Amino acid sequence: MIRFWRALAAVALKESLRTLRDHFTLTLLLVVPLLQLILFGFAINLHPKSLPTVLVAHENDQFVNRAAKTLEELGYFKVIARTSDRQIAERWLALSRAQFIFELPPQFTDQVVREEHPQVILTADAVDPVASIAAVQAASAFYARTDSIFPVELETRLAYNPDGASQLFIIPGLVGAILTFTLVLLGALVMTRERDISETPVGLAMPRGSLLLGKAIPYLMIGCALFVILLFVCTHLLNLPWPSWSPALFVIAFIFIVANLVFGLTLSLIAKNALQAMQLCMFFYLPSMLLSGFIFPFYGMPEWAQKIGEILPLTYFLRVIRGILLKGLLDSEAWGLAWPIALFAVMAGLIALALHRWRSVRY
């Protein structure tokens, strides 16, 4: 029994000293979770305010301006653009650049002056019901009051998801979330596994591009197959609408897969062992889940958190897959969401090549 306790104490002491000497791992285990808690504690908001709204008005006078200001005073809406063409406003909604459309009828000013109770229409992007329902209810209650500033009738519409089903919001996002987690993790373990089995000297002697590309190709094929399987399950088993042939969806999905895999390779070149690689994955994975609009309303976050979210490839992929599957987003419009993902992939690839070259010289 004494030998058992002596051995236990020796192993615990040795492991503690090894951990304390490994400052990078210790930082990942203690400092990074603390930073994440502070970041997400300030960023996450389940009761979003100041949501982007497009004003559709055929006039530009004090009555229209007052109507927009009155809407913003509710706290839920923020007019970010004005147009006289409702189709333009609907494209903003499909691209997830706006959450609401507030449409005033033609000759709105004349109808207000004559107290004819003009009908205004509030259209909400209901794919994310959390971000829409509370705002719609607040607007409906305000304009139903007899002492409201304008004698108008408000008609509310829930676009893309009139029943407010949360599955339509969650299921397409799961495709991007699963691809992110799987491919970043696979990429992060590539080089660390090579070091664990002592194949690093051979790998570092090879040309920079050939080693990284050779490591990535098998996982790239796995990622493409996984996307097709997930999309098939979503549309045939979970009853999401199958998109009419959309090259943009598959091409952008391929770019998204490359971006996550290359970023995982970059993490594998930073990490010294598998534990560090997995910790770095979590450091990337949690912001991707929480700041991309996958779970929480994107426009409900502070602007600084939205800026962080706009760096993440998952943010744009969610807009693409939800837009094409649920909103009728055109391929020509979806291409505009591809370049941030491609830029992320290129930057991650350049960093990976630089790190691999540095390791080769150092070795």
Question: What are the structural domains of the chain?
Answer: 51-159 (3.40.1710.10), 167-362 (no CATH)
Q: What is the mean pLDDT of residues 333-345?
A: 93
Question: pLDDT value at position 250?
Answer: 93
Question: pLDDT value at position 183?
Answer: 92
Q: Which two tokens stand for residue 133?
A: 């329902």
Is the pLDDT at 37 greater than 60? The verdict is yes
Question: pLDDT value at position 60?
Answer: 84
Q: Helix/strand/coil (H, E, C) string of 98-140? A: CCEEEECCCCHHHHHHCCCCCEEEEEEECCCHHHHHHHHHHHH
The residue ranking higher by pLDDT, 208 or 262, is 262
What confidence tens digit (pLDDT) does each residue in 156-177 have? Answer: 999 988 887 778 888 899 999 9
Question: pLDDT value at position 141?
Answer: 85
User: Strand 153-159 vs strand 119-125: parallel, antiparallel, or unpaired?
Assistant: parallel
Question: pLDDT value at position 67?
Answer: 86
Question: pLDDT value at position 19?
Answer: 65
Is the pLDDT at 83 greater than 70? The verdict is yes
Q: What is the mean pLDDT of residues 191-195?
A: 65
Question: pLDDT value at position 341?
Answer: 96
Dihedral (C-alpha) 203, 25, 42, 133: value to the nearest 10 degrees?
50
How wide is the angle at C-alpha 361 spanned by C-alphas 360 and 363, nearest 5°? 65
SS3 239: coil
Is the pLDDT at 206 greater than 50? The verdict is yes
Q: What is the mean pLDDT of residues 43-65?
A: 86
Q: Which two tokens stand for residue 152?
A: 């108008």
Question: pLDDT value at position 44?
Answer: 77
Is the pLDDT at 325 greater than 60? The verdict is yes
pLDDT tier at 261, thresholds 50, 70, 90: very high
Whole-angstrom CA distances from 76 to 13, 60, 134, 135, 146 are 56, 23, 8, 6, 21
pLDDT tier at 122, thresholds 50, 70, 90: very high
Distance CA 224, CA 241 (A): 20
pLDDT tier at 115, thresholds 50, 70, 90: confident
SS3 51: strand
Is the pLDDT at 4 greater than 80? The verdict is no
pLDDT tier at 195, thresholds 50, 70, 90: low
Question: pLDDT value at position 241?
Answer: 76
Q: What is the mean pLDDT of the chain?
A: 83
Q: What is the mean pLDDT of residues 11-31?
A: 68
The residue ranking higher by pLDDT, 144 or 347, is 347
Q: What are phi and psi of 311, to 5 degrees?
A: -85, -25
Q: What is the mean pLDDT of residues 68-82?
A: 90
- The pTM score is 0.84
Calculate what percentage of the chain has a pLDDT beyond 70. Answer: 85
Question: pLDDT value at position 35?
Answer: 74
The residue ranking higher by pLDDT, 355 or 362, is 355
Question: pLDDT value at position 163?
Answer: 81
